[in-house]
Chain A
Amino acid sequence: MRGFDAILVEKRDLTHGTTGRYHGLLHSGGRYAVKDPQAAVECIEENRILRRIMPHCIEDTGGFFVVTPWDDPDYVPRFVDGCRRAGIPVEEVPVDQMLREEPLLNPHISHCFRVPDAAADSFLATEANAESARQHGARIWTYHEVTRLVRQGDHVVGAVCHDLVKDEEVHIHADLLVNAAGAWAGQIAAMAGVEVNIIPGKGVMVAMAHRVVNTVVNRCKLPSDGDIIVPIHTVAVIGTTDVKVSDPEHFPIEPWEIALMLAEGEKLVPGLKQMRVLRAWAGVRPLYQETVVADTRDVTRAYTLLDHETRDGLRGLITITGGKWTTYRQMAQVTVDRVCEKFGVERHCRTHEEPLPGAERAEYHWLGAPLARVERERAYGRLVCECELATEEDVIRAITEGQARTIDDIRRDVRLGMGPCQGGFCTYRAAGIWHALRRPRVTETNVALRDFLQERWKGLLPVLHGQQLRQERLDELIYLSVLNADHLPGPTVSPLAPVMYEPAGGTQRDGPST
């Protein structure tokens, strides 16, 4: 938008990293109102902007901060005061009104405050940003993993990437390199020989198979484990834990983390433990601190821009890190402001003004929209993913017009396989459609099918019990007994396959961070 010739490289598909692995909250800032006022201010500013530029990626659920019997009532005045200071609109909702709106919430909640939290679809939002970037001339190369940075003296002049699809090296020369690799930013910086201390903070999230609540529900207390439920699309996500890990890619989801999420969720929604758990996943927060700290919750959620020229005497590289999904736009703005400064040009940011592609109708997303569309188009006989209502047309479009390299890429486009059966029925269908359309060598389709089954499995493993275990047994009956998919010709796993979580049982809980 500001006239630079830009290439974005991503090691897998867009949102493969933390963006695609968070709970989907568009922060009002209420969560940081007491502990991290700067982050709170950033959040509410951006909350307002994002509602304007990409309403179609946002469901205006509103948010509650509730005081349960387990929470310190003394926090309440500090919370209200913090919200006021940060400019976050907050109003108290009588408990009976709250229960009318959310009948499953704990009736023993004593206070409830409404704030402008919302739910955001980070897959769709990312795609909208990428599309806008493309329209402005940017090139976006997915499945390009940076293997090294090219340095001439004290100047970074480019990067060498590995194109995973073609399995070849790609050299990119650039006048300036922006390191926005999130939890991987330390690794990228290291390739240039500079140290950026990123603390990958693992957060585990558990999705319930249906909405449970229609409003974002936060515990009214200092941020801690399992204190929020975010209704996003058809599920409700309980988040999160916060555990320091050494590697942003290889870490386990521990049983205690799942148990904790459910136990804390139960405090907000009694009976939750009897409900069906859909899946669990974990993302890594890119928390940045110049000095090492022990508890990652104490690290600021505000973002940091590092100009390595001033910081390390290395030209051609800047790093943007920290922050939250809610503040991604502001992070991009200050980064490009710095880029302009470096090139000595004066071009103003417009990302806070121009709506993104898809926002033309200026309407928020609503839960029933996909169903209403299927009804309108009478497409109910054309559903590939019946749980999440992805139609044959949607899947075909993702394959032919989108950048889909794997079935998992289709998932991110159309929510394929994200419902209760976790790909039980639609994996076969998607593979069949994929094969009929592209007609690759059949072993490629076979491995795509197996990769996706495995990708779904890794998120199921930590939560398999109750009805989800029964579902999985049916899915096994289909893929083993009926289809014999484990005896198809070809390799069993592809280089494009998503990374698997490590086996659980490695770490114990360090102690409560509450």
Chain B
Amino acid sequence: MRPRVDVLVIGAGLAGLMAAWQAAVAGCRVRVITRGPGALFWHAGCVDVLGYAAQDTERPVAAPRDALLHLVNANPAHPYARVGLEGVETALSALQQVCEAAGYPLRGDLSHNWLLPSAVGAFRPTCLAPETMVSGDLARRDPLLIVGFEGMLDFYPELVADNLAEQERPARSVRLDLPSLRERRQLTPVTLAQLFEAPEFRRQVAEALRPKLGRAARVGFPAVLGVHRPLEVKQDLEAKLGREVFEIPTLPPSVPGMRLYTILVEAVRQAGGDVFTGMEAVRAEAENGRVQAVFTEAAARLNPHRAHAFVLATGGLLGGGIVADADGHLREVILGLPVQGPESQTKWFRQEFLASEDHPVYAAGVAVDERFRPVGAKGVPLYTNLFVAGMTLAGDDVIRRRALDGVAVATGYAVGQHAARSVQEAMR
């Protein structure tokens, strides 16, 4: 049977979409299948490259490039080391270009980390942040006003402002009680974001806020300033308030993350690829060291997807691509790839939830060769046309390192190119 696509990507998180986009741009027919959108909808909508280095978990990394260099040298099996510093840089700027083209620029580069306020008022290190967030920069010391909304349960301006003040950033909070919100029974971040797209709602917000601005030089909102046209919303609010405006990401669902998802899915489609949700990959078929097909669960049957190359970007323990069972076995769910991790279940965790050192199980994942192909015990690739990206890779607790998005972007980008190359080889 003739494959209907060249590259099949499993998983529509940052890694999967980057890989799909790269492969499509390289001329491959690409299909992305996913059970549902993943961590993009949960995370802050920024690109964390390296926020805290393993050797100093207290102070945030100031310059990711230097810290990466150290990491890459110290740990050659780390996903970043496989990509290489240059590769990381290329991947990040590729993402920045896509976002820029979509009218949603991501600001920053590897020379420094932003410190942006989190929704509890901690200083959150991140490398690339959307234009809508960067006025929250805490390297600056001009006064902030943090705005919340009565009825919104996912953001607490008092907590943010008081913690910023505790850390010597002049900050106050205000809570808006808008009549138009009082009628709503539910105020999720998404409903608020939809409201913010209406000029009339922004007028109400600005009117209620203006008398309370005081000395504030900038005004921080929860990250709900519109789903589709956030820059327009930000600029309009700035014009109305006469102050800089910025967003603070909060509990999932993440509106800034949804924006990135939409931009990347659109980029894949523009490049000729398809993205399908609701498809759970359950098993694969291989022959002669090549994966032939991946099967997804469909109504009353398994649906085969044949391709020349396959990308596994299933999100590890968080995304569900790796599952830990009650008896302490770690299992890669689609192909049964070997999972590298702590030997005994008793060594999976530390006693403190917020331990500064990694819970060892979270660094578990699939070990790969220099082309991101999963390897067996002897380091030999198990399949020549299967490539792994993102959190399914072994090597680090990327959440603790604040490297989740950076690893996804860098490995996704690299894997997209490896997959495309593999297709070209197969065609030859």
Contacts and interface: CB of A to CB of B under 8 A. Distances in A.
Is there a contact between chains A and B in the complex with CB atoms less than 8 Å apart?
yes
Contacts of A432: 155-156, 158-159
Interface residues of A, number: 59
Nearest to A460: B353
B185 A454 contact: no
A393 to B, nearest CB: 12
Grouping DSSP codes into helix (H, G, I), strand (E, B) and loop, the B interface class, with mixed when no group exceeds half, is loop
B354 A262 contact: no
B158 A380 contact: no
Interface string B349-379: 1011110100001100000000000000000
Contact of B120 (A273, A449, A464, A503): A449
A480 B159 CA distance: 17
B42 A483 contact: no
Contacts of A470: 317-318, 320, 323
Classify chain B: how many residues form its interface, as a range.
35 or more
Interface stretch (A41-49, A335-343, A437-445): A437-445
Contacts of B48: 481
B44 interface: yes
Given A461-B349, A483-B119, A488-B120, A478 B252 contact: yes
Contacts of B349: 461, 464
A466 to B, nearest CB: 6
Contacts of B326: 259, 262, 273, 277, 465-466
A504 B153 contact: no
Contacts, number: 167
Contact of A381 (B42, B186, B345): B186
A456 B124 CA distance: 24
A482 interface: yes
B346 interface: yes
B354 A477 contact: no
B251 A428 contact: yes
A383 B188 CA distance: 11
B216 interface: no
Interface string A401-440: 0000000000000000000000001001101110110010
A473 B187 CA distance: 26
Contacts of A483: 118-120, 122, 124
A450 B120 CA distance: 12
A133 to B, nearest CB: 34
B251 A425 contact: yes
Contact of A489 (B44, B58, B167, B362): B167
A445 B166 CA distance: 12
Interface in A198-232: none
B251 A255 contact: no
A262 B118 CA distance: 40
B123 A442 contact: no
B154 A457 contact: no
Interface stretch (B96-104, B380-388, B399-407): B399-407
Interface in A459-488: 461, 464-466, 469-470, 473-474, 476-488
20 contacts: A262-B326, A380-B186, A428-B120, A431-B159, A435-B159, A436-B175, A446-B120, A465-B345, A466-B326, A473-B362, A476-B362, A480-B354, A481-B399, A482-B124, A483-B120, A483-B122, A484-B120, A485-B354, A489-B163, A489-B167
Interface of A: 255, 259, 262, 273, 277, 378, 380-384, 392, 425, 428-429, 431-433, 435-436, 439, 442-443, 445-446, 449-450, 453-454, 456-457, 461, 464-466, 469-470, 473-474, 476-490, 492, 500, 503-505
Given A381-B184, A473-B362, 18 more contacts: A381-B151, A428-B156, A429-B154, A432-B155, A436-B159, A439-B162, A449-B120, A453-B354, A465-B345, A466-B323, A474-B252, A477-B39, A479-B354, A484-B123, A484-B125, A485-B120, A488-B121, A488-B163
- Enumerate the 10 nearest inter-chain pairs by beta-carbon distance, A residue then B residue, closest first: A432-B156, A381-B186, A457-B353, A442-B162, A484-B122, A486-B354, A381-B185, A473-B318, A484-B124, A465-B324
